[in-house]
Each structure stands twice: as structure tokens, then as C-alpha cells.
Amino acid sequence: MPRAIVTGNGNLLVAMDKNSMLQDLYFPYVGMEDHISYKHMHRIGLYTDNQFSWLYENSWKHHSYYIEDTLVTKSTSENEYLKIKLELNDFVYPDENFFMRKITVENHADYDRNIKIFLAQDFHLYGDKQQDTAFYEPKNKAVIHYRKRRYFLISGMTKNKKGVDSFTTGKSEYNGLEGTWRDAEDGNLHEHSIEQGSVDSTIEFDLFVKGGGKTILYVWICAGKDLKEVTNLHTFIIKESPERLLANTINYWHSWVYKEKHQLNYVSDEIKKRYKQSLLIIRTQIDNRGAIIAANDSDIMKFNKDTYTYMWPRDGACVSMALDHAGYGEICRRFFKFCADVMNSEGYLFHKFNPDQSLGSSWHPWYKDGQEQIPLQEDETALVLIALAKHFDYSGDIEFIQEMYLSLIRPAGNFMTEYVDKKTNLPKPSYDLWERKRGIFSFTAASVYAGLKAAAHLSEKIGHFHHQRRYAKAAENIKQAILEHLYDKELGRFLTRVKPNPKTGELIKDYVIDASMHGLWMFGILPPDDPKIVSTVKSIFETLKVESNAGGIARFENDDYQKVPGNYGSIPGNPWIITTLWHARWLIATSKTKEDLKHAEEIINWVVGHMNEAGILPEQLNPFNGDHLSVAPLTWSHAVFVETVLQYNEKNKELN
């Protein structure tokens, strides 16, 4: 189930499903150490009139929204049978590491009621469930879970009282025990005060709600590395008051999203709203130490027992370019420093990284078919340089470029200059941006061309003219090689890939249509309206458009990733947000009149129409019904949306 809504502060990230259950809780890195873990959740339930109900039961109807221009949720859960409605304002405080829920309980019955709210914590500290302790701490009337350097304090308050009204701790996922949440279902907890090993906990708040009235409950989870840290956070919340902290958070995110004026005068109010929300959602997926995480949805674990919670240099670079364009370059600086720190001694970036800069998992071999090979996707290295050059063009920060020169620009520039086949002048084989095939790809080669141009540009700006000339010459050689070897005159279009014959060295042509060929114009090999590009884009659109209820554009022919049951027939694969927006960007780039822009606007509105209520975008869509597939939110999807809206607005302004 892709995540319905997320909130965070760069250290603590919380993701919820459509039923407002907590599904992922990352701390102290965004994307590392999910303390809830795959297939588990923190539950909310209530008991009234001798009836118990968990919010994920079918009798509840849910909606998930944000308070506009913030990362504070405004979700609702209503049960007509029980005559109860909950409104949840969930947020992570920007300056401190705690998650808070303001739960407004509305009694839709015409009589006064006692309503018990239960919250069940199913922590998996460090991502698993062992050697943990959960205990009731009477001074603060709180339950605390801890192991080693991870502590989580759970408590709350109403207008009239502080702390939990009842509690229990116990074993779970051990000897057939499901957890203490089962203890809540009779409306009473047994108040077992401490448990160790494989544990969970449940807390209770007793509310009195007048007929037709409402009562407010605040609940929080304080995250820290020791007992003192979480108890100090608890004291801070009580002293400052939850309502003031909520107001502070709303004000902060308003200020953040309006830091830039966002003068989008040529887009609809709905597109502008979703643009700003996308910027906020992107921010939740970025760790404060620089890692831009691809996605933080643990449900993807069911496919390969791995996640998207890594820093892919490619994704990060594309997100960085969108953020710089939108005016958030200060975030990008930390990303470039991260890349400089993890740069390989040979001058390239590996597949992906954990948020603490350690090497991420990979399926790219170092040895194949009896030969040693570099497990490389060269576009990842190139795109970081492209993004860094864009950052300089937006910021003019020459001292930062000087700082990055020895650690990032020169090593990457040298590597890309040398990692070239001397016979063809094309980059040597590497894996494609979809991470599936090895060869020489139009997207990769074009990105290397643009990466070398970026290295030349940055070298010139700080006076390294020798390297500037070297990189510029290498770039031009690659451009000419692309035009010679990756353009098929008989077909009248470019090829996705050529692959050297291991025995003869002859280049074998791959005729599969792939949306990544948009990189040829995006990276400047030819102008977007060049006939060679036009014919290539026409082939992409006609071959990869998804003619079904969902619409959109697939990645490549016969894409089998995340296929769902159904008759695909002529459907080439699931529609992706990114590839569909690439087509919109080409339409924008080639538009000569406002009339030309209409199709691009339709695509932007198509993307908005496939956001969920909160404005979250997935990686891809079910082609039959448009449901979100794979992970959500996907940071790259939101970044391409932001970039496309900016380009659409600028082209409209130009044409006016």
C-alpha cells in the first residue's frame, strides 16, 4: 500500500497509510533505520458504548490532506455506525525530533459519551524486534521503548490532564503472541509495566465528549538517543503547549514554501497548489546531512526484500536541479558535499548509498562472463556534475565551486574523459539509468557529454583553463560519436543502445524504443526541434503511450517491472510519472505559440489528476485503473513535476 501522507524534519520521517496508521518511522536518518518496519504498523482504535473498533476496519471512511502550504496533515476518519468522526493534525516539529498528533474527537450522537482512544506501538528498533525494552514511566505518565542508542517516549494530554490514563507492555511476535493491541479490544488494559525482548505497548486515553460536541487529545512520540533526551523533549512539549507547537509548525512551513515568491502567473491555482506541496513533500525525503532519498515506502520490501531508501546520485541530481530552479539551493549544497565525500578514488560514483554515506546494496556485478567490469551507471556521475553546474549558474557561489573542485569536479571530469572507447569515442559500456541492461546508451552518452561540458564550464570559472580545454574537447568528441553511432539513418531516429560484440568489437544495434532517449535533447546533443530528435520523440510517443484508462507513457517496450494482473495486450508497460512529464517538457521546449502548449498543459493536469488527495505522486500507475504502484511518494516524480511546471510557466511568459 503506497503511503498516503508523510511528514518530517530531515532527521525524523513519519509515513502513514490511507487509514492514518503509522507505517514507517525513520530516525535519526531519513531513509535509514525504519523503527516500525515492513508489514507492521502503529494502530489507533477506540472504545465506546461497549464497542471497540480499529480505524483500519471497513466501517471507517478516510480522507488524507495537508493544511495548505504545510507539512501538517488534516486527515479525517469517520464511522457513521459509531457516530464518531476524528480529525487528525499530524506533524513532526521542525526544530525538535518529535511527532505529534492532534486528534479532535467529534461525538455525532445526541447524548454524552465516554470514549476511550487506544494507540498501540509496534516498534522494531533498528529495524527488527529483539533485545528491546518497553516500560511505563510514572513520573511523566509515559511509555518508553528503548534499545542501545534509540529511545522513543510516547505520551499525551487533554485540556484537563497530562499523561496516559492506562497502559500495558508485553510480548509480541513471539510464541504466537500477536501483541498488546489485542488487550485493548475489551476496553481495558492490564497495566503490565515492563517487558523485554520482543515487545510492544498500548496506551489509553479516557475522554468525555458531550452529545454533538468535541474533545481534543494530543499524543506525541519523542525520538532520541538516550533517556534524558526524550524526557527533556516531553517536558518541552508540556511547557510550550501542543497548540503553540502546532501553530509554530504551520508558520514555519508557510515561511519555507513562500521563501521564494513562486510567481507562477501562467498556471492554474490547482497546479500552483500542487507545485508548492510537491516542494514540501520533496523536503521530507531529504536527510539533513545531504542524502536525497529516492523513496521511503517500506512496502516495496515484498518484491526483493530491499527498499528505495537510498541516495541514488542520479535521483539526487535530478531533484537538486529542480530545487535549485525553484530557489532552494541551500539544500543542494549538502547533497553535493555528500557526493564529494563518497566519490570513488577513480572518479566515479557507485550505484547507491545509505544516508550515513555507507555503500548501498547493489545488483551490478564486478565480474561477469569471465571478465572483470566496473559496476557502474555512468550517468549517475555525469548528472551530479550537470546539477553542480546548474547550481553555480543559479547561485554564483564561486567559493563553493572551488571547494568542490578537487574532491568532485576534477576526479569526475578526468574519469569521464578517460572512460571512453578509443576506437569509437563513445563512453565505455555501463548500466542504463533503469539499472537493467549494460551497453552504450543514448541517455548515458548524452549525460556524459553534458557532464563534461559542465566540468569544462566550472573549471573555466575558477581559472583551470587546461582542464577546461581538455573536458570541452572530450565532450565534443562524444557528441560527434553519438551522432555517428547512435543515430540510425535507415530508421531516421536515434537508438536506445548499442552494444560491442565481445569478439569483434562491432557495435550491435538495439532497436527497442525507450523513453530515456529524451536525454539526447535534454542534455543538448541536438536542439529539441531538430528533425532527428523530432522523429525520435515521435517514435517514443507512438510506441510507449499507454492507451488505457490510466493513460501516460511507459518506460520502454515490454516493461515487466511491477506488472499487475490483467490483459496488457498492446500496453507496453505501466505508465510512469517521470517519462510522461519528459514528453511534456519536450512539448514545452518546442512550442512556438500558446496553442502549442495546450498538450503540455493537459499532461501536467493529468499528473495532478493522478496525485492522491494529499498531493503525493508514485513511481508508476496501474494501467487499468490508475492506482498508485510501487513506492509513493517517489522524490524524483515530484522533482520532475516541479521542473515541468517551472518550464511551462517560463515558456508561457516568453510567448506572452
* Per-residue pLDDT tens over the stretch 264-286: 999 999 999 999 999 999 999 99
Q: What is the mean pLDDT of residues 523-541?
A: 98
Confidence class of residue 504 from pLDDT cuts 50, 70 and 90?
confident
pLDDT attached to residue 535: 98
Same domain, 652 and 611: yes
By C-alpha distance, which of 653, 651, 15, 69 is closest to 307? Answer: 15
pLDDT attached to residue 226: 98
Cell of 236: 518541552
Same domain, 225 and 320: no
Residue 260 predicted with pLDDT over 90: no
pLDDT attached to residue 1: 58
Residue 400 lies in a domain: yes
Domain that holds residue 618: 264-288+545-656
CB atoms within 10 A of CB 503: 6
Residue 303 lies in a domain: no
Which of 532, 556, 574 marks a domain boundary?
532
Whole-angstrom CA distances from 181 to 23, 52, 53 are 16, 12, 12
Buried b (16+ CB within 10 A) or exposed e, 69-96: bbbbbbbbbbbeebbbbbbbbbbbbbeb
Same domain, 218 and 192: yes
pLDDT attached to residue 620: 97
Residue 247 lies in a domain: yes
By C-alpha distance, which of 20, 10, 90, 31 is closest to 631? Answer: 31
Q: Higher-confidence residue: 73 or 370?
A: 73
Residue 307 lies in a domain: no
Residue 301 lies in a domain: no
Question: pLDDT digit string (tens) for 212-249?
Answer: 999 999 999 999 999 999 999 999 999 999 999 999 99
Same domain, 496 and 567: no
Same domain, 241 and 284: no
Question: pLDDT digit string (tens) for 358-412?
Answer: 999 999 999 998 889 999 999 999 999 999 999 999 999 999 999 999 999 999 9
By C-alpha distance, which of 107, 128, 122 is closest to 171? Answer: 122
Is the peptide bond between 633 and the residue preceding it cis, with omega within 30 degrees of 0? yes
Cell of 31: 531513509
pLDDT attached to residue 176: 87
Same domain, 346 and 456: yes
Which of 236, 257, 278 marks a domain boundary?
257
Q: What is the DSSP letter of 554?
A: -
Q: What mean pLDDT is reported for the chain?
A: 96
Residues 564/629, Cβ–Cβ less than 8 Å: yes
Residues 429/440, Cβ–Cβ less than 8 Å: yes
Cell of 125: 528498533
Residue 646 predicted with pLDDT over 80: yes
Residue 256 predicted with pLDDT over 70: yes
CATH number at 362 reads 1.50.10.10
With a CB cutoff of 8 Å and minimum separation 6, the contacts of 167 are: 136, 143, 189, 191, 193, 201, 202, 203, 204
Residue 241 lies in a domain: yes
Same domain, 388 and 494: yes
Q: What is the mean pLDDT of residues 626-650?
A: 97
Question: pLDDT digit string (tens) for 468-480?
Answer: 999 999 999 999 9
Whole-angstrom CA distances from 32 to 311, 358, 506 are 11, 11, 44
Same domain, 497 and 524: yes
Confidence class of residue 259 from pLDDT cuts 50, 70 and 90?
confident
CB atoms within 10 A of CB 628: 24
Residues 313/380, Cβ–Cβ less than 8 Å: yes
Confidence class of residue 130 from pLDDT cuts 50, 70 and 90?
very high
Confidence class of residue 299 from pLDDT cuts 50, 70 and 90?
confident
Q: What is the 3-state secondary structure (H, E, C) of 73-113?
A: ECEEEEECCCCEEEEEEEEECCCCCEEEEEEEEEECCCCCE
Same domain, 622 and 503: no
Measured in residues, the chain has a length of 656
pLDDT attached to residue 36: 96
Same domain, 211 and 332: no
Same domain, 594 and 454: no
Question: pLDDT digit string (tens) for 572-618?
Answer: 999 999 999 999 999 999 999 999 999 999 999 999 999 999 999 99
CA distance 34 to 37: 5
CATH number at 17 reads 2.70.98.10
CA distance 411 to 427: 16
Residue 455 predicted with pLDDT over 90: yes
pLDDT attached to residue 156: 98
Total domains, the chain: 3
The per-type count for the chain, helices as H runs and strands as E runs, is 16, 28
Q: What is the mean pLDDT of residues 520-544?
A: 98
**Helical ranges in 201-268 per DSSP H:** 227-240, 242-257
Which of 481, 508, 532 marks a domain boundary?
532
Q: What is the mean pLDDT of residues 498-511?
A: 91
pLDDT attached to residue 300: 78
Residue 301 predicted with pLDDT over 80: no
Is the pTM for the entire model greater than 0.95? yes
Same domain, 421 and 567: no
Residues 332/323, Cβ–Cβ less than 8 Å: yes
Residue 580 lies in a domain: yes
3-state DSSP assignment of residue 569: coil
β-bridge partners, 514 = 556
CB atoms within 10 A of CB 16: 25
Cell of 361: 546494496
With a CB cutoff of 8 Å and minimum separation 6, the contacts of 255 are: none
Lowest-confidence pick of 119-133, 259-273, 632-646? 259-273
pLDDT attached to residue 37: 87
Q: What is the mean pLDDT of residues 616-637?
A: 96
Residue 310 lies in a domain: no
